[in-house]
Amino acid sequence: MIVRPDRPANGGESVGRVDGRVVFVRGAIPGEEVRVRITDDRRESFLRGEVVEVLEPSMHRIDQLCDAAHHGAGCCDLGFVDLAHARDLKGQVILDALDRIGGFSVADLDGVGAGEVVSLGDDGTHWRVRTRLGVDADGRAGMHAFHGSSIVTDHPCVAPESGMVDGLDGYTFTPGADVAVVADMAGRRHITEIAPPRVRARGSRRGARGRTQSARRGREAPRAHRVVDGEPVAAHRVGDRIWQIPVAAFWQAHRAAPSAYAQTVIDLLADAELPARPEPLVAWDLYGGAGVFAAAMLDARIDVLDALGAVHVVESDPAALAAAEQTFADDDRVVLHRGEVAGVAAGLPAPDVVVLDPPRTGAGAAVIDVVADADPAVIVHVGCDVGRFARDLALFAEHGYRPRAIRSFDAFPLTHHVEAIACLVPAHRGV
Ligand SMILES: C[S@@+](CC[C@H](N)C(=O)[O-])C[C@H]1O[C@@H](n2cnc3c(N)ncnc32)[C@H](O)[C@@H]1O
């Protein structure tokens, strides 16, 4: 069918209407006229499709910059849109999510800065210092295809730092494994193979639900790691501190992201008004990873944090906490807690400041109830999924916390992903 989408959707598609029916189109830019092949018509209310021909191109359309995406990989899904326009589209997606999912009105967001997405200083290519590849049946590493489970080899993605994925075809990996590739702060490459997830016997008598649970447990079970090149840990610098992060553990993908986010957290806190109290301040760094935000708060030279006495870092990954332990070995103001945020946070000393940086799934109601019940004077919420970010902000709003500032970063250029950081303050305190 022929469609002229008129707005961007969260997830990189563009949205149009044909005969009153909504159509999500992959590979189109709002405003273009495109011929679309329908790929999913299972629902009454909307269709999904992908562009097979551009009939009237947007002035923002460029040749796909990523060879892997050009050959079907799911990586750089907006690599055919000029960078500045892609940022505008992501800004629109954020505003749209805050309206539709978050329930925030234009007046709520006046002066908050929600729709502006800032570049992290790259040209869209070679910004990534950490990447995960899949391995095909012949033991060759490559990007996962957008459709199906195949692996796109011979066509590298344009996001990894220059040289980071060169020569990988000289290695034979274990079919079905993941391969973590990292460029450390000195540009050295480290490769760790993560063994394939354990697959349990098919055809069990436990029914579909039992099989789904069993498959999930297989995916979540610990997987063996094998160092293929370099070291098992890679050094990354933020400010004056250096972290030794396991190659297969979490670290922000964009070279400039940890410093930019840490600085943003501090800038947002610098404007906060904390009620004066005699005891030292308490901060929580939830989903803290190796403690980058904890360090930023401790190292910040801002009046608001002058009296910071303790930062409680809560994190479930022991590898990230081991890195944090090394970094904060001589600093007894940092208290590390291993466990799930929902369970651990309720037992922590009452905070003045909470920073939370959940994974893509968002924080959710249980965690937000705990945070809001602890009554911090300021919350900084970091989100890497626009929809979940908007939903979490709505949950905070139910507890009386309103966004005072939102900063967004093009931390995953050429893709639809975007990072947003909100500063929330309690309307119930009249701040
Ligand atoms: C987006 S990362 C943020 C890490 C850190 N703030 C940083 O910037 O490096 C989310 C972190 O939350 C951890 N995590 C995920 N679910 C968790 C949970 N339920 N409880 C505690 N930590 C969790 C992950 O291991 C990961 O380190």
Examine residue 79 and state whether it is found in any structural domain, yes or no.
no
Q: Are residues 177 and 250 in the same domain?
A: no
Is residue 287 marked as binding?
Answer: yes
316 lines ligand 1 (CB under 6 A): yes
Q: Are residues 248 and 227 in the same domain?
A: no
Range(s) of the domain holding residue 180 = 130-231
Examine residue 97 and state whether it is found in any structural domain, yes or no.
no
Which pLDDT value is given to residue 431? Answer: 46
CATH number, position 373: 3.40.50.150
Examine residue 12 and state whether it is found in any structural domain, yes or no.
yes
Domain count, the chain: 3
Which residues of the chain register pLDDT less than 70?
Answer: 200-211, 214-220, 429-431
- pLDDT, one tens digit per residue, over 372-429 is 999 999 999 999 999 999 999 999 999 999 999 999 999 999 999 999 999 999 987 6
Q: Are residues 205 and 263 in the same domain?
A: no
Q: Are residues 257 and 213 in the same domain?
A: no
Active site residues: 384
Q: Are residues 262 and 220 in the same domain?
A: no
396 lines ligand 1 (CB under 6 A): no
Please name which of 359, 393, 327 lies closest in space to residue 108, comparing C-alpha atoms: 393
Q: Are residues 194 and 52 in the same domain?
A: no
Please identify, by atom number, the ligand 1 atom nearest to the C-alpha of residue 317.
Answer: 25
Which pLDDT value is given to residue 147? Answer: 83
Q: Are residues 357 and 283 in the same domain?
A: yes
Q: Are residues 43 and 24 in the same domain?
A: yes
Q: Which of the listed residues 231, 266, 290 is the one where a domain comes to its end? A: 231
Examine residue 332 and state whether it is found in any structural domain, yes or no.
yes
Q: Are residues 135 and 227 in the same domain?
A: yes
| Gap from CA of 29 to ligand 1 centroid (Å) | 33
317 lines ligand 1 (CB under 6 A): yes
Q: Are residues 253 and 374 in the same domain?
A: yes
| Gap from CA of 156 to ligand 1 centroid (Å) | 28
Q: Which of the listed residues 231, 257, 282 is the one where a domain comes to its end? A: 231
| Gap from CA of 173 to ligand 1 centroid (Å) | 28
Please identify, by atom number, the ligand 1 atom nearest to the C-alpha of residue 251.
Answer: 9
Which pLDDT value is given to residue 200? Answer: 61
Examine residue 196 and state whether it is found in any structural domain, yes or no.
yes
Examine residue 92 and state whether it is found in any structural domain, yes or no.
no
Q: Are residues 243 and 277 in the same domain?
A: yes
Examine residue 120 and state whether it is found in any structural domain, yes or no.
no
| Gap from CA of 194 to ligand 1 centroid (Å) | 19
252 lines ligand 1 (CB under 6 A): yes
CATH number, position 29: 2.40.50.140
Residue nearest to atom 12 of ligand 1 (CA): 287
Residue nearest to atom 15 of ligand 1 (CA): 359
Which pLDDT value is given to residue 344? Answer: 97
- Mutation choice for ligand 1 from 237, 250, 385, 419, CB with most ligand atoms inside 8 A: 250
ipTM over 0.90: yes
Q: Are residues 309 and 225 in the same domain?
A: no
Examine residue 158 and state whether it is found in any structural domain, yes or no.
yes
| pTM score | 0.94
Which pLDDT value is given to residue 278? Answer: 78
Q: Which of the listed residues 231, 265, 285 is the one where a domain comes to its end? A: 231
